[in-house]
Amino acid sequence: MYPRFLDRNYPLEKHLFFVTRYSFGLLGLRFGEAKSQSWISLAWLVFNFVNLAHCCQAELVFGWHYLRISPVDAMDAFCPLACSLTTLFKLGWMWWRRQEVSALMERIRLLTEEQAGRGIRRSNVARRSYYLKATRFGMLVFTLGSITTCAFVLRSLWEMWARGLADFKFDMPFRMLFPEFAHRMPWFPLFYLYSTWSGQVTVYAFAGTDGFFFGFTLYVAFLLRVLQLDVSDSLQLVKNPSPRDCDLCCRRLANIVDRHNEIALIVRRFSGIMAAPAFVHFVSASLVIATSVIDILLYSGYNIIRYVVYTFTVCSAIFLYCYGGTEISTESLSVGEAAYGSAWYAWDRETRRRVYLIILRAQRPITVGVPFFTPCLPVFTAVIKFTGSIVALAKTIL
């Protein structure tokens, strides 16, 4: 038995922003469903936000307290703290911009359904491919994050069992320092679950925001792919095209130009929403990966497993950002290549002029704007190199 969204017969309409809607729905944040925003869901969302903020404070207190006593334990607290703080910012940001996010989701839905309604088999095949990729890779980050939380929980349970009753210590799954009564019976089980849930809140908000970014980039890449198909179909080789054929082709090309401009405008609006979360994510992820690798070097035995999974989760999230950004820019450039590779030379002067304008427009690829960089695969390589430099510096110090 496997999740329904993995089934190829799962409706494509439900795949659209599935990861974002599912992840944030678990936290009580819903997009584009005004009737579902009851006071119960709002109260649940507030609780999750307060839970994550409180647990971030507890991790900070623990790390600061043990910084001089045990730097290893302090690092064990600061590493998840960086990710939790970033996720707290993402959760608050997505709630604050929820109306704009809902509007973008709805606009993407209308555009993709419009292309699906055209009945072009090649576009429908591309649509299915992009939709499935967005859902499955987004849920991969969701699953890896949940596995990471489980690894931290199993670590704490193993340590408490291994110590036995003689030297038993009431530890939380993550390195958190709550008030003294929280680390004693009968309050300990309640705070243990409270701490564990903060890990899942991190996973849901983390996967929901990253899934929105990755899904949006792939859906836009699909729209650009359809533009390429339409350009090729509009400029098919025709012997001695009549004035009526040329006029019809010019109108089709004008429609393609308008759609291309609209896609660029949508991506610009998307960049205005996601620029801050993406920038914070890349900066924090670089530090998280570096501290995770340092923790792997400091720890031994089963403790390494949880940080290996943790590092792989964060790396996969960055990779999806960069992969999605690369898909948009590549498909955007391919619009001009499709126009150049068509039979434009067989048409009249006005049609050739419009093709020339399409090629010129495509020379400036559509990209997601993030302060100081553009998410792409070379940036992913740069992040890995940067974290490697931090690890090398830390090894010389430690």
Residues 77-102: pLDDT tens digits?
Answer: 777 888 888 999 999 999 999 889 99
Residues 108-134: pLDDT tens digits?
Answer: 988 888 876 555 666 777 788 888 889
Distance in angstroms (rounded) separating the CA atoms of residues 202 and 48: 9
- Determine the pLDDT at residue 217: 93
- Determine the pLDDT at residue 94: 92
- Determine the pLDDT at residue 1: 46
Residues 358-391: pLDDT tens digits?
Answer: 888 888 888 888 887 888 888 888 888 777 776 6
Question: What is the DSSP secondary structure assignment for residue 182, as one 8-state letter?
Answer: G
Radius of gyration of the chain (CA): 25
C-alpha distances out from residue 176 to 11, 147, 304, 363, Å: 43, 20, 19, 52
Structure tokens that stand for 253 in this block: 């090309």
pTM of the model: 0.90
Distance in angstroms (rounded) separating the CA atoms of residues 222 and 245: 28
Strand partners, 370: 373
Residues 285-316: pLDDT tens digits?
Answer: 877 777 777 766 666 556 677 777 777 888 88
Q: Over range 21-25, report the average pLDDT.
A: 91
Percent of the chain past pLDDT 70, that is, above it, reads 88
Structure confidence at residue 52 as a pLDDT band (50, 70, 90):
very high
Cα end-to-end span (Å), the chain = 48
Which of the two residues, 303 and 344, has the higher pLDDT score?
344
184-186-190-192 Cα dihedral, nearest 10 degrees: 30
CB of 188 closer than 8 Å to CB of 173: no
Q: Which of 371, 393, 354 is nearest to 280 (CA)?
A: 371
Stretch among 33-47, 195-209, 312-326 having the lowest mean pLDDT: 33-47
Burial 133-155 (b: 16+ CB within 10 A, else e): bbbebbbbbbebbbebbbbbbeb
CB of 138 closer than 8 Å to CB of 210: yes
